[in-house]
Structure formats: C-alpha cells, structure tokens
Amino acid sequence: MDSVKWFKSSRSGNNGACVEVAHLGKDAVGVRDTKARGEGPILEFTQAGWAAFIDGAKHGAFDSTD
C-alpha cells in the first residue's frame, strides 16, 4: 500500500486522535489510525459501505444517547 495516498480531515488537530482515509481501488476505501504511523491494521469498506457510514455520521446515527 505504499502508493496509496492517505489523508485526514483538515479539521483534525494535532492531538493524535485522528484517522486517515484512502481510496484503495475501484470499490474499496481504507481507514487507519494516524498514531500507528502506517504500521497498524486497516479497516476496509466498500464504496457503498463507506457512503452509508458517512451518511449515518452526518445524520447523528452514532451520537451517544447517554
């Protein structure tokens, strides 16, 4: 995955609590922990799965009810 361009949100701070995202191919999106410096695991989503996750996050599907 050396040729993959990883990026994080421009709204991310420098506190180390960020994730990076990359397009891994025709139907794959990868997400990894910035702190792992490329040595940790990568979660892989299909394009449809990633779109559903982003839509849910925008609409509060993952907000805590506590």
CA 30 to CA 56: how far, in whole Å? 18
Residue 17 has pLDDT above 80, yes or no: no
Cα separations (Å) of 2 from 15, 29, 48, 55? Answer: 25, 15, 24, 29
Query: For 39-55, what is each residue's pLDDT tens digit?
Result: 899 999 999 999 999 99
Residue 27 has pLDDT above 80, yes or no: yes
pTM of the model: 0.76
Query: In 3D, which of 12, 21, 14, 11 has the Cα closest to residue 42?
Result: 21
On whether the CB atoms of residues 46 and 28 are closer than 8 A, the answer is yes
